[in-house]
Structure 1
């Protein structure tokens, strides 16, 4: 108020040279009578100017409220908006807020002590209701479960598995479950396939495979075992096919195959891709099979870019840097030149790099595009937040932002499979391992739409067995990590499914009666998923009929799938692999082999290598049993 008085005093000084007493008297009267009104008018004008300056660009008003999962409104929740830069807002005492924003869509981040950070895209024209999940509860760790059987509880000890300097999550193989105790089981669906190429790397080096690096569901994901032979009827629905066959290792049991075919995007209408390459250029990547392989892989991807696509490059090695600001796909030479210029050195500040990559991706964000961070690393983070839990919390904070995460594992010796698997699982994405140039080409070119374009999020399948017809069942693959099981988590969170991908699940089942013919369904399936950028959950239901057929008479793809499951079980030294050997695996694979499929032919070669590598191991085990 003092400066307003100074203005009035300055005006009054204009009259100090007046010689006429009546002029001075008139002025004094004006000031005395109207001084209060004048000050009020000036203050109102100033406030209006300030309001206009602060909100001159505000065309929309974002309103909403924040609750906990019990529905209680949460006050003092910190709100950050992309359009507001560093400005911070908070919910009021009743958990509500209203903020003027300049655009119809915005990115919002909500945070409150004791709750998970929530980040996502919002429409300012709609009233928003946000729900924050508490930390250190089942809700914050539920994404770790690959499968869960309702009403079945067990206790496991936590342990960490290492193979030299490499790390793998300790897994618990699924056991038989009696349907009278727990008829319902669920499994998370995804397109991860890292396990198979990592297994191939070990066997090509004539080395045994870490048992916890063997994930049978990822081995099945690697191959195109589609027996449905038709495309989905629309852009949102899955197709399903089930088959019951004989079990080659147990004549009293049967195998149940479940195949789900994801919707396939129209190639002519694929949305733009806004990609952020996050490349590890630390000292550990300074080997021929690491950074040079990454560079070659990304340059192949760049060749497929269209003019409407966009690429940014973030690197980390000693420090985090933005090597390339968002650049259109038409400028291929510019992008390739930056990739070629990368040199490996320094420490590995992975956590800071991940945060920077998401920040860059958010600036490129388009709700109608494929927004994705592609991380290529050996996973050997050694600066900043380095634990699996710390890293997965970082990506989990961005999970609902509409930005996907693809993890590409590279290298050997210090490869951190556990970290990359945790990042992919918690970061709304997928996970692959690049062991050679052919695999890089397969992942980033041949399988590009399946790997990089999601058609379903949070996808999981619930299987409910008929207690009258099935007495017991065992899910093959989809094994859980021991630490997730010991945490007592009772729910699962689904994964990401790419365009046109075929997901296969296998069960070994024990019929309740010797008869294999029945008019009733042996099980029912419930598929749940969300379409990209959609909050409403979709559901599809399928019946599993007792369509028993001998495995020898079944589709050849099912025999090949059986050989993969047998192969993985032998590598894991499973208790369920005691009734067959490497010859049985190879013979089963050959009986289902597609002679024109190079990858299937390579698999048969790997069975030969595995037999030689494990020959000494098997003999040693037999001697130990005799002792």
Structure 2
């Protein structure tokens, strides 16, 4: 009788047979051969016959036997993706300026600013595929990032800057106007700068390790070192968990020694910023140059975690050193832990400017192309105040400068700190105005008094009265500059304005759009890019062309 054996039993039998054969072979190699057992006593083995070969059709239907593979006792879980650390970046918070009725608040006062950090930081966000946080966008810093070909003061001018005011129609509301106030500082040749006593204060804490932080700062300082003259002096101070004088004051023509000291800066440890700032100022005082430039250049992500970390206490420290004649410029780097609020505050009270370095090209712009503007101050504590005429202007709003607001009384108070203007710097401010008789945004007071346009007021044709206060470097008493802004017969169309004015309006519009402002209606990236494209003349470094690309990119990122 023939037994049919299943494929599984056949495979099992073959495995057993192979195992026994292997054991017997091993034993034959280790012991004498055993005698064959007697037939009577030999155990009987069941005879297993192979099943007949299946037909081709059956072979297709019968699966091949599978070998059972036992799983290991422990199977490691697949690795989970590491989430990026939560952002702790800090930006100064503020609300957009509201409209003001001239009959109730005719005077607007603010401090000048030449900070540009917001633009470079916004660019970093966009190049990484994200729109910037609202509070990272400061319209005036976007506008003042660009150079404008404003008329410079005459060589024998009484003031170190020239002022110009222009009025055009608003591109987002034809019934309204835009008033541009432009300030152009006297330019100085690099060779004619006073001798500079500089202290590079570099954060070398662990958070500065990434390529876009300390390595970028080292490259930036190398660029600045190449611009130094023999009469300049440089010291280098670093801070992490502790502080260190990396290089004592060294003449600017000893570039090899300065470059070598910069190359020794490596990241690691905590962030004892307060002690670093104190040590840097001590070095600056030790090398103080009378009638020269005495400045600390702070390069950091602002992530302080040892010693005094309060912004107000650090502000007091920097403010005290400013009064002793040593200023501070802040060069910010970093992203997720970046403390821009601190960087901007220290630069503002330190009589310096704030810049953000997102690329080496930006460092070249700030420290090479604009070296004289960054280091040499021609006017200190510059304040602007404008009084609008209610006969011609019903409402106004200043675009930007929310963090530079001053009271009407502070304009005449020489103890109040304000912005400093460097050699060749330009300052641009834009007001949007609603003429008297047009539809406004604020209800008038019931008992407010408004002059009639037909009155005998001798200033009836003046749109506004502009005043500026500033101090000569090192002086305690301010000087006053004032001039009228007269109204033309009609506001010229923006298309007829010069390229600089048109481009400044495009940048201001983009800043408002990025902040989600409702003041510009449906005016968005398409119109802004077109306006900027037509105003790209004189784009020596390609900054305006880059702006146009960023505007288009931001429009694509909007959800």
State the secondary structure of the residue aligned to 2:221.
Answer: helix
Rounded to whole Å, the distance in 1 between the matches of 2:326 and 2:158 is 21
Rounded to whole Å, the distance in 2 between the matches of 1:280 and 1:558 is 39
- 1:419 and 2:342 equivalent? yes
Per the alignment, residue 305 of structure 2 pairs with: 382
What is the Cα deviation at residue 230 of structure 1? 6.1
Contact preservation (8 Å) 1:206, 1:613: yes
What is the Cα deviation at residue 579 of structure 1? 2.6
State the secondary structure of the residue aligned to 1:577.
Answer: coil
State the secondary structure of the residue aligned to 1:355.
Answer: helix
What is the Cα deviation at residue 266 of structure 1? 4.7
- 1:457 and 2:457 equivalent? no
- Computed over aligned residues only, the root mean square deviation of the Cα atoms, in angstroms, reads 2.4
Contact preservation (8 Å) 1:460, 1:527: yes
State the secondary structure of the residue aligned to 2:212.
Answer: coil
- 1:605 and 2:549 equivalent? yes
Rounded to whole Å, the distance in 1 between the matches of 2:256 and 2:126 is 38
Per the alignment, residue 518 of structure 2 pairs with: 575
Per the alignment, residue 463 of structure 2 pairs with: 522
Rounded to whole Å, the distance in 2 between the matches of 1:334 and 1:502 is 35
Q: How many residues are matched?
A: 451
Residue 391 of structure 2: which of 468, 471, 475 is its match?
A: 468
Rounded to whole Å, the distance in 1 between the matches of 2:556 and 2:408 is 41
Per the alignment, residue 537 of structure 2 pairs with: 594
TM-score normalized by the length of structure 2:
0.77
State the secondary structure of the residue aligned to 2:235.
Answer: strand
User: Which runs of no fewer than 5 residues in structure 1 stay unpaired?
Assistant: 1-161, 617-627
State the secondary structure of the residue aligned to 2:543.
Answer: helix
What is the Cα deviation at residue 264 of structure 1? 2.2
Contact preservation (8 Å) 2:152, 2:161: no
- Residue by residue, what CA displacement relative to the aligned partner does 1:459-511 show, whole Å, maximum 9, x if unpaired? 11111111211111000010138xx99x9997763111100111110000011
Rounded to whole Å, the distance in 1 between the matches of 2:402 and 2:113 is 14
State the secondary structure of the residue aligned to 2:506.
Answer: helix
Per the alignment, residue 201 of structure 1 pairs with: 124
- Residue by residue, what CA displacement relative to the aligned partner does 1:521-564 show, whole Å, maximum 9, x if unpaired? 21111111111111121211122121332111010111111110
Contact preservation (8 Å) 1:232, 1:261: no
Rounded to whole Å, the distance in 1 between the matches of 2:171 and 2:161 is 30
Contact preservation (8 Å) 1:283, 1:344: yes
Structure with greater Cα Rg: 2
What is the Cα deviation at residue 269 of structure 1? 2.6
Rounded to whole Å, the distance in 1 between the matches of 2:260 and 2:232 is 18
- 1:495 and 2:438 equivalent? no
1:545-584 equivalences in 2 (<5 Å)? 545-547=486-488, 548-584=491-527
Per the alignment, residue 56 of structure 1 pairs with: none
CA gap of 1:458–1:371, structure 2 versus 1, over 3 A, is: same
State the secondary structure of the residue aligned to 1:342.
Answer: coil
- Residue by residue, what CA displacement relative to the aligned partner does 1:389-417 show, whole Å, maximum 9, x if unpaired? 12212111112111110000011111110
The structure whose residues are more often strand, as a share, is: 1
What is the Cα deviation at residue 233 of structure 1? 3.7
- 1:174 and 2:97 equivalent? yes
Residue 322 of structure 1: which of 239, 245, 252 is its match?
A: 245
Per the alignment, residue 335 of structure 1 pairs with: 258
Per the alignment, residue 505 of structure 1 pairs with: 429
Per the alignment, residue 114 of structure 1 pairs with: none
Rounded to whole Å, the distance in 2 between the matches of 1:512 and 1:236 is 34
CA gap of 1:410–1:259, structure 2 versus 1, over 3 A, is: same
Contact preservation (8 Å) 1:216, 1:476: yes
Rounded to whole Å, the distance in 2 between the matches of 1:489 and 1:573 is 32
Per the alignment, residue 140 of structure 1 pairs with: none
State the secondary structure of the residue aligned to 1:575.
Answer: coil
Per the alignment, residue 5 of structure 1 pairs with: none
Contact preservation (8 Å) 2:185, 2:425: yes
CA gap of 1:242–1:549, structure 2 versus 1, over 3 A, is: same
Rounded to whole Å, the distance in 1 between the matches of 2:154 and 2:408 is 40
Residue 216 of structure 2: which of 282, 288, 293 is its match?
A: 293
CA gap of 1:436–1:359, structure 2 versus 1, over 3 A, is: same
- Residue by residue, what CA displacement relative to the aligned partner does 1:183-206 show, whole Å, maximum 9, x if unpaired? 111111121100000000000001
Contact preservation (8 Å) 1:246, 1:254: yes
What is the Cα deviation at residue 593 of structure 1? 1.6
CA gap of 1:317–1:446, structure 2 versus 1, over 3 A, is: same
State the secondary structure of the residue aligned to 2:528.
Answer: helix
Per the alignment, residue 264 of structure 1 pairs with: 187
TM-score normalized by the length of structure 1:
0.69
Contact preservation (8 Å) 1:232, 1:238: no
Rounded to whole Å, the distance in 1 between the matches of 2:147 and 2:155 is 16
What is the Cα deviation at residue 250 of structure 1? 1.1
CA gap of 1:599–1:519, structure 2 versus 1, over 3 A, is: same
Contact preservation (8 Å) 2:469, 2:479: yes
CA gap of 1:232–1:464, structure 2 versus 1, over 3 A, is: farther
Residue 186 of structure 1: which of 109, 131, 136 is its match?
A: 109
Residue 176 of structure 2: which of 210, 235, 253 is its match?
A: 253
Contact preservation (8 Å) 1:367, 1:402: no
Rounded to whole Å, the distance in 1 between the matches of 2:409 and 2:273 is 28
State the secondary structure of the residue aligned to 1:480.
Answer: helix
Contact preservation (8 Å) 1:460, 1:493: no
- Residue by residue, what CA displacement relative to the aligned partner does 1:74-108 show, whole Å, maximum 9, x if unpaired? xxxxxxxxxxxxxxxxxxxxxxxxxxxxxxxxxxx
CA gap of 1:373–1:568, structure 2 versus 1, over 3 A, is: same
Rounded to whole Å, the distance in 1 between the matches of 2:539 and 2:87 is 38
1:41-120 equivalences in 2 (<5 Å)? none
- Residue by residue, what CA displacement relative to the aligned partner does 1:257-278 show, whole Å, maximum 9, x if unpaired? 0001112235443110100000
State the secondary structure of the residue aligned to 1:166.
Answer: coil
Contact preservation (8 Å) 2:103, 2:394: yes
